[in-house]
Amino acid sequence: MLLHDKVHQVVAPDGWALLERTKLRADSVLARLGDAAFATGIAALTRAVQEGEVAAPVLENLDLLVFGNLKKSKQLLVGG
């Protein structure tokens, strides 16, 4: 591995946009939830958004991993 870094990705511009997107249940993790669990989660998210508890923009933390040949990468960087 050549690089491991943490990056932030914008998921939604604000809590309301996140709520609308989440209601679509398009995420594969959400699709696996039972209807009752999904409804409970939507209710909790709705309350959090209404009470201003969701930061804007909504971010998720990702691991950025870069794999490759270290020797060849060094040669490219130094022009050799």
pLDDT (tens digit, 9 = 90+) per residue, 7-62?
A: 999 999 999 999 999 999 988 889 899 999 999 999 999 999 999 999 999 999 99
CB 15 within 8 A of CB 48: yes
Whole-model pTM: value is 0.73
CB 63 within 8 A of CB 3: no
Residues 16 and 13: their CA atoms lie apart, in Å, by 8
Give the pLDDT of residue 77: 64
